Amino acid sequence: MKIAVINEISAADKNADILKALEGRGHEILNLGNTSSKDNPGLLYIHTGLMSALLLNLKAVDFVVGGCGTGLGYLNSVLQYPGIVCGHLLTPLDAFLFARINAGNCVSLALNQGYGWAGEVNLRMMFDAFFTLDAGNGYPQSRSEPQRQGREALNRISESTHHSMAEILLALPREVVQPAINYPTFRPVLCQAAMANEEILSVLEKVL
């Protein structure tokens, strides 16, 4: 699995903890956001939500790990876009249930609120619970079929209620788009992925 880690500035100092918690799982990790609270420019969750949605819609990555101080700002930001199923994870049980019931492509972590002693241990335990061969199998097992139907219905709702990413990029304010798409570690990954999508590529040529 190819996983993007995209931190915003308020929780950038937890970036190293996230990377360490993801180690040893056989995934390819792309570290594309802020890595230190001293980074300039500093990304806001408004930017990291857009960055995450672009990568997932272009199929540049399979999964995104994001978050912010509480995890709620990033959650609301990324869910404004099509094709996103994001979970707000605080505990390993959240991760266990989200993987099996919702089988999402994005998680939002609370990286300041409640992040104290052994916070990095909680991160690793959440990823232990999330990255499982049982993803999408349902919980409890007797509920697996209605849960699968619910996921499919939610995907159809997302398709029906959102504009395309190209339309969204053109409509968004420049102060949202520019810091996101021009972030140094992010831009080359985005441009490479956009080569396979003529519509997005055309829009990027206008807004870059």
The pLDDT of residue 103: 96
CATH architecture of 2-207: 3-Layer(aba) Sandwich (3.40)
The pLDDT of residue 133: 86
Place of tokens 């500093």: 42
Question: Domain locations in the chain?
Answer: 2-207
Q: Is 114 left (phi over 0), alpha (psi -120 to 50) or beta?
A: left
* pLDDT of residue 208 exceeding 80: no
CA distance 98 to 69: 20
In sequence order, the β-bridge partners of residue 63 are: 3
* pLDDT of residue 45 exceeding 90: yes
Burial (CB count within 10 angstroms: exposed 0-12, middle 13-18, buried 19+), residue 144: middle
Q: What is the pLDDT of residues 66-119, one digit of tens each?
A: 999 999 999 999 999 999 999 999 999 999 999 999 999 999 999 999 999 999
**Residue 25 near residue 73, CB atoms below 8 Å:** no
Q: What is the pLDDT of residues 147-177, one digit of tens each?
A: 999 999 999 999 999 999 999 999 999 999 9
Closest CA to 86 of 54, 117, 49: 49
